[in-house]
Chain A
Amino acid sequence: MQSFRMFLSFIAELLSRRNLVYELTKRDFKSVYFGSYLGIVWAFLLPLANVFIFWFVFQIGFRAQPKGGFPFILWYITALIIWNFFSDSVNNGMNSVTQNRFVVKKVAFSLGILPIVKILSALIIHLFFILLVMVLFIVYGQVPDLHYLQIIYYLFATFVFVTGLSWITSSVVIFFRDLRQIVSIVMQFGFFLTPIFWDLSILPEKYHIMMKFNPVFYIVEGYRESFITKVWFWEHWGMTLYFWTVTAGVFVLGAVVFRRLRPHFADVL
């Protein structure tokens, strides 16, 4: 009960600092993407290089068949952009507090916004990518339809999930440095074990249930459903219910863990 009250006051405190979140996000985005010479170009170049490699290996090398009449590149990039958003958010979110140690020790403010700022900053880039993907689909002759709106829902779902996750990782990593390496390994596994460059149908039916335990699967699949297979999220309400149960758990746990560890930050950093 005490934890729950802690959770509510934590969320209320963050909501009251919306203006600060906005200002800091602008600042962070500028410093990350306009800090080096090619700046924002890198943000696009890296994922595009990745797309090119996978396209080359799978379409040219393995002669992968188009999925349901969609070229591999469209099918792959839809999943990749949301995975990239997820992984950028997890990595940057985790380091958000340690990166700002100089200010954590000197200025008192709502530290809980630091991971959110990093996630929002990654979100800006992600929005560009969504536009890029839409343009690609149009170029390949797809007509935009209502299902595209579903992206907003999945984006929101990702945001809530990753915020909870970052609250946990960003606070725990201060006390337990090894978490950084562990997370990086988990993310590698995640990339290959989530159906991003492969399709769930290549796995035997009995393994599908295992895949569905992964909350990221829900999001990645959701993006494909919005752009390609045109399925609404309420059509598989069981998965939706499962995802939101997990996400709510992670979100509340994240807030409580962060709030509990916060008084110790300045002592350790």
Chain B
Amino acid sequence: MSNEIAIKVEDVTKIYKLYDSPTDRLKEALNPFRKKYHRDFHAIDGVSLEIMKGETVGIIGQNGAGKSTLLKMITGVLTPSSGKIQVKGRISALLELGAGFNPDVSGLENVYFNGTLMGFTKEELDAKIDDVLAFADIGAFIHQPVKIYSSGMFVRLAFAMAVHVAPEILIVDEALSVGDTMFQSKCFEKIKSLMEGGATTLFVTHNVNAINTFCNRAIMLDGGKVFSQGPPQSITLQYYEMIREKDHLSQNFKKSVKKIAGEEITESTRKINLLKGNTSCISKYGVGVATIKGCFLLNSEATETTLIRCGESFAVILNIQFNDDIDNPCYGFSISNPMGIVLLSSHTYHDRTLSFDKRAKGDVIEVELKTSMLLNPGKFLLSIGVGEHRSAKDFTNFDVVKNICEIEVYGKSSYHGIIHHDSAIRVSLKGSADA
């Protein structure tokens, strides 16, 4: 990183003029008296930024925060409504999943066409084309029209093209979320080598881990403004806090809606019964002697949420109704990854030291299962169940509900792997082999 500024954004605003018809826009652009025909929408509102040469900057923010608009203006495709953008160096950009490819002509033709627009001669492109094709690795498809490409192939080619034109500034907007894991890692390797070569990189992604690993700096946009900027770890944490807050707000909103609708609310303090949410991917089984009526997830502040911070304690609360007399009831939940492998669970069945009371038909109980989140950041699925345990081999499921909801774990991942832990490492010199 040097002290030279690569990108300077000064008080830039992008106002989208919303017109009732395209003709109104024409009338306004050509009207000698500058009559107004539109309503304003501020996609970017007074943003100022300086990005140094060689920096790698991640831009995060929720949908509609203005990330893509900002990048497009830096690239020069969109023109700011006011303010100034200065860019030093050749830009190569992957905007909104890919380059400007003509769907009707072959991938190869498109690479040449885009290369020409970037100012390369045919000879210069001929010299690069082998590297591009080797990197994209889409085989004979390169001679097929781009319209038949899968989205993965499209991004592969676009990315290969973007990184092989020796960019001084590389702009990547969400493009990496499409390719498979192998390709993603290849891309990150390539970005790394460009960074080492002194290229400035700007990328927008929702992949917070990528920002934490790659960027020198993160910028969070919200509502078209720079919300905060600084070290990636703290900005991404802030980002999660913001999502959580908004999540909370929307829950309160839902609550009030429910009240207006006159719907029955069983628990006085808890409102978000996860069983009544999005039920599309839930799978249920069990003999039905007991039924889980409600499931709630609380973080350490007893706020209802599905966002849990690494290391934070959290609780799963179950409301269960018994339809028969049960001697040895047991309760539990498990958290698994999307492949279905259970990573974390808490079951009363395993806890031989505790005994649970017999239950009579008609009982309605509440169970709180509390533990701490020992997983590294990621997205996981919650499953819950109630059953009867008579002996080690005699177990009956009364009601099991799998994959109720997605739990997102956020925070700083300390080490590779799925477990979040603190470790102490000590190195000491024990002698010298040469002696």
Contact = CB atoms under 8 A, between A and B. Distances in A.
Partners in one complex: yes
Interface of A: 19-20, 23-24, 27, 31, 100, 102-109, 172, 175-177, 257, 260-264, 266-268
A27 B114 CA distance: 12
25 contacts: A19-B119, A19-B121, A20-B116, A24-B117, A27-B112, A102-B100, A102-B101, A102-B103, A103-B100, A103-B117, A104-B77, A105-B100, A106-B93, A106-B99, A107-B77, A107-B99, A107-B100, A107-B114, A108-B91, A109-B117, A177-B22, A260-B30, A266-B77, A267-B78, A268-B25
A172 B72 contact: no
B29 interface: yes
A103 B113 contact: yes
A175 B100 contact: no
Given A102-B101, A176-B22, A176-B23, A107 B118 contact: yes
A13 to B, nearest CB: 13
A261 B116 contact: no
Contact of A108 (B26, B76, B103): B76
Q: Interface residues of B toward A: which range?
A: 35 or more
A261 B75 contact: no
A206 B91 CA distance: 61
A20 B114 CA distance: 11
A257 B113 CA distance: 27
Interface of B: 16-17, 22-23, 25-26, 29-30, 72, 75-79, 91, 93, 95-96, 98-103, 105, 109, 112-114, 116-119, 121-122
A24 B116 contact: yes
B121 to A, nearest CB: 7
Closest CB pairs A-B (n = 4): A108-B76, A106-B100, A103-B100, A263-B79
B210 to A, nearest CB: 22
Contacts of A267: 16-17, 78
Most buried by A among B76, B77, B98: B77
B122 A23 contact: yes
Nearest to B79: A263
A262 B26 CA distance: 12
B22 A175 contact: yes
Nearest to A113: B117
A23 B95 contact: no
Nearest to A99: B102
